[in-house]
Amino acid sequence: MFNLIDKLNDDSNINGILLQSPIPNHLDQNKAFRKISSIKDVDGFNPINVGDLNIGNDCFISCTPFGIMKILEYYNIELEGKNVVILGRSNIVGKPMIQCMLSKNATVTVCHSKTKNLKDITKNADILVSAIGRPKFVTKDMIKKDAIIIDVGINRMENSKICGDVDFENVYAKASKITPVPGGVGPMTIAMLMHNLVKATKLQKNK
């Protein structure tokens, strides 16, 4: 696999490289992300792009957090000074989401499996982003009235239907805005991947 990444890095006809993870356990995923050229890293996982995001430099941003920011921008949702609670601390969503929100001067709290008094924290959120992979985990008693709910979860139920981390029907009437699953964040993730690919192509053509 590593030889293939090297080959793709060197191929001028290839403008973007996406590594579908997780990869088999016997392979080093972090090494694989490091090997992907930072200017072909359309998923934003090369440490150079991760570092640039942390210090506010222009970079490729992980597609799901990037898509969430575009949703908020489209609906003119002001982030400065807002209390944003993120459920989940993954490298794919939670951690880059922190930096994206901080870049807009939001006040960010991150919750995870070891967080105590979770409901007390989520009920103070102006904006709640859930990316924990637990079906219908977020219920209306966990949010305050008129909160904005961003549901990143993709969970398959026993009846094969897809649902998010948020109990949509339960929360809908209490939230001011809420993204559905499917059809909410998912399509924006794909759109941002295409955005990053176009950006990568332009960067490489201008080298």
Residues 143 and 178 in one domain: yes
pTM above 0.75, yes or no: yes
Same domain, 97 and 142: yes
For residue 40, the enclosing domain spans 2-61+189-205
- Give residue 206's pLDDT: 84
Same domain, 92 and 180: yes
92-132 confidence digits (pLDDT tens): 999 999 999 999 999 999 999 999 999 999 999 999 999 99
The pLDDT, as a whole number, for residue 198 is 98
Dihedral, 170, 73, 186, 166 alpha carbons, nearest 10: -20
Same domain (yes/no): 46, 85: no
CATH code at position 47: 3.40.50.10860
Q: What is the CATH number of the domain that holds 122?
A: 3.40.50.720
If asked whether residues 24 and 112 sit together in one domain, one would say no
Shared domain for 67 and 160, answered yes or no, is yes
CA angle, 107 then 87 then 190, to 5°? 95
Which residue is it, tokens 């979860």?
153
